[in-house]
């Protein structure tokens, strides 16, 4: 029995460097898949035969060693006078003393703290919920004048947008995750949203003495080459996300939830040519709602997402400007691991 165990241990140690080489993994896996069943059977048969002989001689067998060759992970660690060999989830202690070479099979509780730590961290990394929220987002923004409508009444044409040049970008911090299972949970984060509304007409907007928003037209000999309203908001998105595993550990992610926002700043800017290029930038609150909230959702594959957000709070305060509801659609690149 001792000779058998020694031979198996030596064979295992010799096999480790070869198995550890990444260049040979694919060839070895193919060979092992074909021969693992036969090899395991032969190995078990040899050990069981030796065990039966011990039982017939009324000898007590304290440890049973089963060595399997297949898709196992091998590792060797020198620990003073003993060598610890790990094969998959099993660990063996090879001790050389005055009686020769003795092999002990260690239980999970006998593993070193570093082994347990590595195992637990790997288990945690693969089992915890990771939401796909947090990163950089870029899209186009506009506003709805009615349910699913972007058409404006004639008296509000000054708010008409050049939609191809009206865009937004958001920066969102890595999210906080609350997992209900490995592929389902809640993700929440904080971020900044920068929106640019590019006007299509030769006008800007102005805030009157009573706080009411109206159009501002330049002198007849001035034609704006650029005119826009820009806003900056702090945002708080909270998503309920489900994940569909595909292609191993990768997932298709679908999330939907609510988003809140607090206005940090706003300004208008116009650019025109009169005796050279002229720029005028005016900071004001423009009677914009300080707080707003809405719905947001996204769908994507791993770190790449397509997102959409629509606010249920009007762009301007009630009675001080057109009743318009901002929305944005774009792509997102998340920080998710």
Average pLDDT over residues 229-252: 94
Whole-number pLDDT of residue 247:
83
Of 270, 330, 256, the residue nearest 298 (C-alpha): 256
Instruction: Give me the percent of the chain exceeding a pLDDT of 70.
Output: 65
- Count of alpha carbons within 13 Å of 46, Cβ hemisphere only? 17
What is the pTM assigned to this prediction? 0.64
Alpha-carbon distance of 125 to 92, in angstroms, equals 26
Alpha-carbon distance of 21 to 29, in angstroms, equals 12
Average pLDDT of the residues of the chain = 79
The DSSP symbol for 239 reads: E
Alpha-carbon distance of 322 to 155, in angstroms, equals 9
Q: Where are the domains of the chain?
A: 2-125, 128-334
Residue 27 has pLDDT above 70, yes or no: no
Of 79, 139, 132, 140, the residue nearest 104 (C-alpha): 79
Element of type H or E holding 43: helix 25-56
- Residues 6+ away with beta carbon under 8 Å from 182: 127, 128, 129
The model's pLDDT over 109-154, given as tens digits with 9 standing for 90+, comes to 444 555 555 544 444 444 689 999 999 999 999 999 988 889 999 9
Measured CA to CA in angstroms, residue 88 lies from 31, 43, 68, 239 at distances of 18, 16, 9, 38
The model's pLDDT over 148-192, given as tens digits with 9 standing for 90+, comes to 889 999 999 999 999 999 999 999 999 999 999 999 999 999 999
Torsion of CA 147, 150, 153, 156, to 10 degrees: 120
């Amino acid at each position: 029995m001792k000779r058998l165990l020694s031979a198996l241990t030596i064979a295992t140690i010799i096999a480790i460097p070869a198995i550890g080489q990444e260049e040979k993994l694919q060839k070895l896996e193919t060979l092992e898949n074909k021969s693992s069943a036969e090899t395991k059977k032969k190995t078990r048969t040899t050990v069981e035969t030796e065990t039966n002989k011990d039982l017939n001689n009324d000898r007590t067998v304290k440890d049973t060693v089963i060595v399997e060759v297949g898709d196992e992970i091998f590792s060797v660690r020198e620990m003073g006078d003993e060598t610890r060999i790990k094969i998959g989830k099993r660990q063996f202690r090879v001790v050389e003393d005055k009686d020769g070479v003795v092999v002990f099979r260690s239980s999970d509780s006998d593993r070193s703290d570093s082994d347990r730590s590595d195992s637990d961290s790997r288990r945690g990394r693969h089992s915890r919920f990771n939401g796909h929220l947090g990163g950089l987002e870029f899209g186009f923004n506009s506003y709805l004048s009615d349910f699913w409508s972007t058409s404006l009444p004639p008296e509000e044409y000054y708010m008409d947008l050049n939609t191809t040049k009206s865009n937004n970008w958001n920066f969102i911090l890595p999210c906080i995750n609350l997992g209900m299972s490995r592929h389902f949970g809640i993700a929440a984060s904080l971020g900044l949203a920068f929106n640019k509304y590019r006007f299509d007409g030769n006008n800007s907007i102005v805030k009157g003495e009573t706080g009411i928003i109206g159009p501002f037209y330049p002198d007849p000999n001035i034609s704006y080459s650029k005119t826009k309203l820009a806003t900056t908001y702090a945002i708080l998105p909270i998503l309920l996300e489900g994940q569909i595993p595909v292609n191993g550990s990768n997932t298709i992610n679908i999330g939907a939830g609510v988003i809140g926002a607090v206005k940090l700043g706003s300004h208008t800017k116009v650019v025109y040519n009169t005796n050279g290029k002229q720029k005028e930038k005016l900071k004001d609150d423009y009677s914009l709602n300080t707080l707003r909230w809405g719905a947001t959702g996204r769908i994507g594959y791993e770190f790449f997402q397509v997102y959409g957000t629509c606010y249920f709070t009007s762009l301007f305060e009630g009675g001080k400007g057109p009743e318009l509801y901002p929305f944005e659609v774009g792509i997102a690149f998340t920080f998710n691991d």
